[in-house]
Chain A
Amino acid sequence: KAGVTQTPRYLIKTRGQQVTLSCSPISGHRSVSWYQQTPGQGLQFLFEYFSETQRNKGNFPGRFSGRQFSNSRSEMNVSTLELGDSALYLCASSKREESYNEQFFGPGTRLTVL
């Protein structure tokens, strides 16, 4: 059974550009959550989607947005990139809306903003 996949794995952008990251959950999983990991702030929750609906949102500016498709794949978009957006972006998938002990992560997308 394939795990959570994220593309691309590495990305280099310049300030002011925008970027789109993709996450494909484990087959049959309908919940996708996104996290940002930086050395200074640690792991922070961005947003969560279930059945194409955003269920939860973290404390990030509106430049960070996301969506989920009918096949449960999810994308997150960051517009007007800033240096501080350089981070490892991780997504996690779960089968159900409240999945108790299931939270499986992908390998992450490492974004560098120059």
Chain B
Amino acid sequence: AQKITQTQPGMFVQEKEAVTLDCTYDTSDPSYGLFWYKQPSSGEMIFLIYQGSYDQQNATEGRYSLNFQKARKSANLVISASQLGDSAMYFCAMRKAAGNKLTFGGGTRVLVKP
């Protein structure tokens, strides 16, 4: 069975600083995908970044980058130059090769301080 662990329930970050959100996963499948989503207080899940298990390079999308360490089974999200609008819940999720079912971690709440 797949499992996603986010060990940081909440964290504060100063505006304009970088922040790293931890995510570790457990799966026996050789092929899988890893996602990060942002959920503001409105509830909508906003897709941030994706990393495939066979991707050789770490994914980047604007201010978001994913630090993928396959051997350690970790997929940490790095947000550079934090903005007040980054305050939200952040979820790490994994999808097996077959189908579109996502398994989510418990989330990390980020609060950006001015």
Contacts and interface: CB of A to CB of B under 8 A. Distances in A.
Interface in A29-49: 31, 33, 35, 42-43, 45, 48
Contacts of A58: 101
Contacts of B45: 90, 92, 105, 108
Contact of B43 (A97, A104, A108): A108
A33 B100 contact: yes
A98 B101 CA distance: 10
A55 interface: yes
Interface in B89-103: 91, 93, 95, 97-103
Contacts of B104: 35, 42-43
A15 to B, nearest CB: 23
A94 B95 CA distance: 13
Contact of B35 (A45, A55, A103, A110): A103
Interface of A: 31, 33, 35, 42-43, 45, 48, 50, 55-56, 58, 88, 90, 92, 94, 97-101, 103-108, 110
Given A33-B101, A45-B101, A103-B93, 19 more contacts: A33-B100, A35-B102, A42-B104, A43-B91, A43-B93, A43-B107, A48-B99, A56-B99, A92-B45, A92-B100, A98-B98, A98-B100, A101-B33, A101-B35, A103-B102, A104-B47, A105-B44, A106-B44, A107-B42
